Amino acid sequence: MGFLDFLKGKAGETVGFSDIDSWLDRQVADKHLDQKVARAKGAVLNKIIEAHRLLNELEKAGLMNENIPVKAKQIMEGHRKAYIHRLKRFLDEIDMPEDFSQIGFFAAQFSEGLTKLSAETQKNYLVLKEFMEAEIIKIVKTIKGIEDELSRLQQEIEKEGIEAIKDAKLKLKHYHDDLKKKAMLEEEKLNQSEEAESLKERKRKLQARLDELHQTQEYNDFKELIDNKKKYEEQLKAIETELKIIFAHLNRPLRKYKHVSLQEKLIDKYLLDPVGALEEDDSFTMLEVLGKMRQELGNLELKENQLEKTVEMINQLSRDFFLGKKLEINNLKELNKDTASKINTSVIALNIAEADTLLRGVSDKIIQAERSLEELTKSLEEINLDYLKQKVKEKVKEINPKITIKD
């Protein structure tokens, strides 16, 4: 009668889900598997001792026929020594577990090792068999008997339905692991939620502080400085554009004239950066250059319309024009510099910059916290304790169909 058939004959049992683990342990204990393993372990130990004894006898055994060539005898002795050494090492490495759940793995591992041993010592075995067949066969049977003993034990364990119990315990462990994991994730999610709310409150206060700073007179004064700086820069840009347009019209004649002029570098600078050139030209040397170029316009091979435009531009670039633009540029740059200095040392600007930096930092942390909350929520949704619990119950029902499990 099989294991499950035996259980079908038992009276119905009632067990709480929280007691299933101990119930499974009792099912194992009722099989007295520890005694079966102990018995088999004793039998294996006896076979190991017997194999060592037989190997010692093989080591001392003499040849039935001493009338063999010395060379052949030396070869045989080499194989005997190698064979005995390898088998003794194999036997000494056998360490049979006491836990029944490890027997299947150990038995498979032993058989794999035995196959490897056979391959490694095959040549030794074949040589020795020619000289000491009886001794060799006894040793092989004894070691093979260890494998047979492990195989019998494994079959006995399997007949007891232990695999079903082990599977149930594994599923129960999975359930308890996920139960702990869920509790841990829920606690982490609660902490993360509190952290997110704390950060949001911090953001509200910083935003309120920033809004408050924006309502002050100091901020209005600061904005005026910003507006003024922008206005000065726009005025400077307008002057730069005006001068660039003028010298763009003069580009061709000046390039032709500079080769006969002593002010070639000055001309190049005015053509490239008229504002910078004007700032450096304190003596207004360009006026002299333009005056001399005007006298040479007929020699520059200019078209009629280009000649007229050149004369118009030269007439526009009077000393008063250069002086006015130079003073205007210097004044605007001075005003811009002074305004920039006030902006850079503005207390309200520093306070706003600090609050804005803190606000951005808190906003980034809120994004990270919310992302973590999403990940935690997703991880929690992936845990299905009801499904895992049902799988445990189904497996227990396989072990004992008449059992009743209370939640």
Q: Digits of tens for pLDDT over the chain (407 positions)?
A: 343 444 443 457 899 998 988 998 888 888 888 889 999 999 999 999 999 999 999 888 877 666 678 888 888 889 999 999 999 999 999 999 988 878 888 999 999 999 999 999 999 999 888 888 889 999 999 999 999 999 999 988 888 777 888 888 889 899 999 999 999 999 999 999 999 999 999 999 999 999 999 899 998 988 899 999 999 999 999 999 999 999 998 988 898 888 888 888 999 999 999 999 999 999 999 999 998 888 888 888 788 888 888 888 898 888 999 999 999 999 999 999 999 998 888 898 889 889 999 999 999 999 999 999 999 999 999 999 999 999 989 999 988 888 898 88
Classify residue 206: in a domain, yes or no: no
Total count of domains within the chain: 2
Query: Three-state SS for 71?
Result: helix
Classify residue 209: in a domain, yes or no: no
Query: Which structural domain range is residue 137 located in?
Result: 32-159
Which pLDDT value is given to residue 266? 92
- Of 306, 328, 352, at which residue does a domain stop? 352
Classify residue 387: in a domain, yes or no: no
Q: Do both 50 and 121 map to the same domain?
A: yes
- Of 159, 184, 201, at which residue does a domain stop? 159
Q: Do both 78 and 153 map to the same domain?
A: yes
Q: Do both 235 and 336 map to the same domain?
A: yes
Classify residue 178: in a domain, yes or no: no
Quick check: 61 and 132 in contact, CB under 8 A?
A: yes
Quick check: 246 and 313 in contact, CB under 8 A?
A: yes
Which pLDDT value is given to residue 11? 53
Question: Pick from 371, 232, 246, 240: which is nearest to 312 by CA?
Answer: 246
The C-alpha torsion from 107 through 113 and 119 to 121, rounded to 10°, is: -110
Which pLDDT value is given to residue 64? 64
Which pLDDT value is given to residue 310? 86
If you search the block for the tokens 């206005």, which residue do you land on? 231
- Of 159, 184, 205, at which residue does a domain stop? 159
Question: Pick from 107, 111, 115, 113: which is nearest to 156 by CA?
Answer: 107
Which pLDDT value is given to residue 303? 85
Which pLDDT value is given to residue 407? 80
Quick check: 120 and 70 in contact, CB under 8 A?
A: no
Q: Do both 227 and 143 map to the same domain?
A: no
Classify residue 90: in a domain, yes or no: yes
Q: Do both 235 and 341 map to the same domain?
A: yes
Classify residue 102: in a domain, yes or no: yes
Q: Do both 337 and 263 map to the same domain?
A: yes
Q: Do both 343 and 229 map to the same domain?
A: yes
Classify residue 203: in a domain, yes or no: no
Question: Pick from 5, 25, 3, 41: which is nearest to 153 by CA?
Answer: 41
Quick check: 150 and 40 in contact, CB under 8 A?
A: yes
Classify residue 375: in a domain, yes or no: no
- If you ran DSSP here, which 8-state letter would residue 63 be given? P
Q: Do both 237 and 148 map to the same domain?
A: no
Task: Find the angle CA(115)-CA(116)-CA(122) to the nearest 5 degrees.
Answer: 85
Q: Do both 151 and 233 map to the same domain?
A: no
